[in-house]
Amino acid sequence: MIHLAPSILSADFLQLGKQIDQVKKGGADYLHFDVMDGVFVPSISFGMPVLENVKKSTDLFLDVHLMITEPEKYVEKFAELGADMVTVHLETLKDPDAILARMHNTTAKVGLAINPATPVEELLPYLHKIDMAVIMTVQPGFGGQSYLSKCTEKIEKVAAHAKTHKLDELLIEVDGGVKLDNVETPLKAGANVIVAGSAIFLGDAKANTKAFVKELQTFEK
């Protein structure tokens, strides 16, 4: 199954509850939640209080992406507050094996992300220890950027590694610059979780979600 994860980073926060309801009615099953600290990435977004309240208002799968330094200080708390998936960045981890083991002791599934500049070969040794690999296809920190085509090969390599090593349940998420007119590229490469922000929330969120879901369903067939 291919999942659509609308990113609320691009949502109108005065209408957040309404827009979350719209993407659910449009057929989305995930909700992407970007946490940015202004250090690992240049922007600051939102954190635990927002997640706690979003959790109360929706039963969508909450896909929490920690773009922060020292994520080991916070992974348990985000899980406690309702994250269904917590993703950390490989670039921030001094001891990846230790933090991934700790994360598996929470109620949340475990994701591991890499930035465009990080070779995918650094991610491959950890695929058997995670639930989701996240390939950033833009420089993290801002919404509305264009998809970096050079990252498509990374998706292909993760998918090939997963197939070779029989990691059939591995989720491969693509985050950044994905729109209706280019979503076929990461899907053909092997992605099965698509993050979309401005392509969903700039305009009619329900209609945009429906269009995306229809495209994903077409590809699955």
Which residues are catalytic, by number? 34, 175
Q: CA-based Rg of the chain, rounded to a whole angstrom?
A: 16
Pick from 36, 50, 65, 60: which is nearest to 142 by CA?
Answer: 36
Distance CA(162)–CA(170), nearest Å, equals 7
Pick from 82, 84, 47: which is nearest to 67 by CA?
Answer: 47
Pairing of strands 30-36, 3-6: unpaired
Structure tokens, 2 = 């291919």
Distance CA(39)–CA(44), nearest Å, equals 8
Would you say the C-alpha torsion 35, 197, 102, 51 has a positive or negative sign? positive
Distance CA(36)–CA(185), nearest Å, equals 27
Residues 159 and 193: beta-carbon distance below 8 Å: no
Distance of CA 181 to the CA centre of its chain: 19
